C-alpha cells in the first residue's frame, strides 16, 4: 500500500464498502478530508513536539494526520480501537516510523507505562471530554504530558480554553488550570470532515505549567470535587450548590472565604475557589485538632 495521503469522501466510502470497518457506526468517528486543515493541525503538533521526535496519537483512523506527521520526520505511536484500521495502518509502509497499539485508548494508554511528551488526536465527540479530564485529573499513570493537541467539538474546546468570567467558564477550565495552560488555536468547519458532523470543531493546545497548583494528590481530588459541586447546577447559587453537595453551614463557609453566597460558580475566579478550598481544609484540620 502507498503511504497514506488525505482521502476524499468517496475514497473513504469505497474503503468501508470493501472492508468490514466499523468506526463510522460504532465509534462516532469523523475523518478529516481537508488537506489544508490537516496541515495546520500537523504544524501545531510539530511546534509542541519540539525535538522529542515521537508523537503519541489517539484515534488515527485511516491515518491522514498520521501520514503528514511521519512525512515531517517524527515517529508516531498510535492508539487505535478499530481492528480494521490497525491492519490498514500496519500495511501503510511506514516501517519503524509508526507503532500501532490496538485496543481502547482509555485502557491501553493508561496501562502501558507510557510517558508521552506530546499527545494529540482528532477525538470522537463522545469520548473527548472523558479522555482529557482523566489525564488532567491523574495524568497517565501519574505522568503529565508536556503538551497535548486535540481536535474537539467546538463547544468542548471553548470550555477547556475559556477565560475566567467568560460565558464558557466552567469546571473544565478550572480543571485545566490546575496543571496546564490551554489555548484554542482555530475552529474547523463541518465540511472538513466525512461524514459531515452537525457542529463546528476546535483545535486546542494544552501546555504543562512549570509548577502545578497542588503537589498533594488528596488536596487536588478534594479541590476538583469542590469545583464540580459548585458547577453542578449553573443556575443555582454557590450557597445552594454547596448545600446540595453536603457542605455544612455553606453560607458561613462562603462568607469566611470572602465569597458572596448569592453568586453563581461561573461568576467567580479561580482564586475564589482556592480561598474556599483553603477555608474548608482549615476547618478539617481544626476538627482534627479538637479530637
- Asked if the structure places residue 2 within a domain, the reply is no
Q: What was the pLDDT predicted at 277? A: 96
Q: What was the pLDDT predicted at 202? A: 98
Grade residue 4 by pLDDT with cuts at 50, 70 and 90: low
Are 76 and 153 found together in one domain?
yes
Grade residue 17 by pLDDT with cuts at 50, 70 and 90: confident
Number of domains in the chain: 2
Query: Could you tell me the three cell numbers for 264?
Result: 453563581
Backbone dihedral region of 93: left (phi > 0), alpha (psi from -120 to 50 degrees) or beta?
Answer: left
Are 257 and 197 found together in one domain?
no
Q: How far is CA 259 from CA 133, 168, 252, 269, in A?
A: 27, 21, 10, 10
Helical spans, DSSP H, in the chain: 9-18, 23-26, 35-49, 64-71, 83-90, 105-111, 128-138, 154-160, 171-177, 217-230, 238-244, 250-256, 270-290
Which of 162, 187, 208 is at the close of a domain?
208
- Asked if the structure places residue 104 within a domain, the reply is yes
Percent of the chain with pLDDT strictly greater than 90: 79
Are 164 and 64 found together in one domain?
yes
Q: What was the pLDDT predicted at 124? A: 83
**Distance in angstroms (rounded) separating the CA atoms of residues 153 and 29:** 12
Say whether pLDDT at 2 is over 80. Answer: no
Are 173 and 279 found together in one domain?
no
Q: What was the pLDDT predicted at 46? A: 96
Say whether pLDDT at 187 is over 60. Answer: yes
**Distance in angstroms (rounded) separating the CA atoms of residues 257 and 110:** 37
Q: What was the pLDDT predicted at 286? A: 47
Please enumerate in sequence order all residues whose Cβ is within 8 A of that of 282, keeping only pairs 6 or more positions apart, or say none: none
Q: What does the pLDDT look like over 114-134, one tens digit per residue?
A: 999 999 999 987 789 999 999
**Distance in angstroms (rounded) separating the CA atoms of residues 106 and 123:** 12
Using alpha carbons only, what angle is made at residue 143 by residues 142 and 148, rounded to the nearest 5 degrees? 130
CB of 58 within 8 A of CB of 105? yes
Q: What was the pLDDT predicted at 27? A: 57
- Asked if the structure places residue 247 within a domain, the reply is yes
Residue tagged 472492508 (cell numbers):
19
Report the largest interatomic distance among the alpha carbons of the chain, rounded to a whole angstrom. Answer: 72
Q: What was the pLDDT predicted at 211? A: 97
Phi, psi of 84 (to 5 degrees): -65, -40
Grade residue 21 by pLDDT with cuts at 50, 70 and 90: low
**Distance in angstroms (rounded) separating the CA atoms of residues 36 and 229:** 42
Grade residue 290 by pLDDT with cuts at 50, 70 and 90: very low
Say whether pLDDT at 26 is over 70. Answer: no
Are 28 and 136 found together in one domain?
yes
Say whether pLDDT at 209 is over 70. Answer: yes
Are 38 and 164 found together in one domain?
yes
Q: What does the pLDDT look like over 40-72, one tens digit per residue?
A: 999 999 999 877 799 999 999 999 999 999 999
What's the average model confidence in pLDDT over 170-174?
Answer: 96
Are 63 and 175 found together in one domain?
yes
Mean pLDDT, rounded, of the chain: 91
Model confidence pTM above 0.85: yes
Domain containing 21 equals 9-208
Amino acid at each position: 500500500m502507498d503511504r497514506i495521503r488525505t482521502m476524499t469522501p468517496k475514497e473513504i466510502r469505497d474503503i468501508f464498502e470493501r472492508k468490514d470497518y466499523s468506526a463510522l457506526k460504532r465509534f462516532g468517528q469523523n475523518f478529516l478530508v481537508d488537506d489544508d486543515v490537516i496541515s495546520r493541525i500537523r504544524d501545531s503538533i510539530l511546534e509542541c513536539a519540539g525535538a522529542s521526535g515521537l508523537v503519541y496519537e489517539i484515534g488515527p483512523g485511516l491515518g491522514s494526520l498520521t501520514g503528514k506527521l511521519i512525512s515531517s520526520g517524527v515517529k508516531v505511536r498510535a492508539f487505535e480501537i478499530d481492528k480494521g484500521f490497525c491492519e490498514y495502518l500496519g500495511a501503510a509502509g511506514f516501517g519503524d516510523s509508526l507503532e500501532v497499539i490496538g485496543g481502547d485508548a482509555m485502557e491501553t494508554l493508561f496501562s502501558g507505562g507510557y510517558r508521552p511528551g506530546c499527545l494529540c488526536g482528532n477525538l470522537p465527540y463522545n469520548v473527548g471530554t472523558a479522555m482529557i479530564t482523566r489525564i488532567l485529573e491523574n495524568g497517565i499513570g501519574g505522568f503529565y504530558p508536556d503538551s497535548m493537541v486535540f481536535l474537539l467539538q467546538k463547544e468542548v474546546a471553548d470550555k477547556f480554553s475559556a477565560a475566567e468570567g467568560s460565558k464558557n467558564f466552567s469546571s473544565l477550565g478550572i480543571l485545566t488550570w490546575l496543571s496546564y495552560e490551554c489555548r484554542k488555536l482555530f475552529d474547523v468547519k463541518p465540511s472538513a470532515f466525512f461524514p459531515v458532523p452537525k457542529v463546528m470543531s476546535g483545535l486546542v493546545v494544552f501546555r504543562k505549567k512549570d509548577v502545578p497548583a497542588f503537589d498533594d494528590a488528596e488536596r487536588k481530588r478534594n479541590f476538583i470535587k469542590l469545583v464540580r459541586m459548585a458547577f453542578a447546577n449553573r443556575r443555582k447559587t454557590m450557597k445552594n450548590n454547596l448545600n446540595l453537595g453536603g457542605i455544612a453551614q455553606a453560607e458561613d463557609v462562603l462568607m469566611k472565604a470572602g465569597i458572596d453566597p448569592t453568586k453563581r460558580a461561573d461568576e467567580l475566579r479561580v482564586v475564589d475557589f482556592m480561598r474556599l478550598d483553603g477555608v474548608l481544609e482549615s476547618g478539617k484540620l481544626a476538627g482534627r485538632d479538637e479530637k
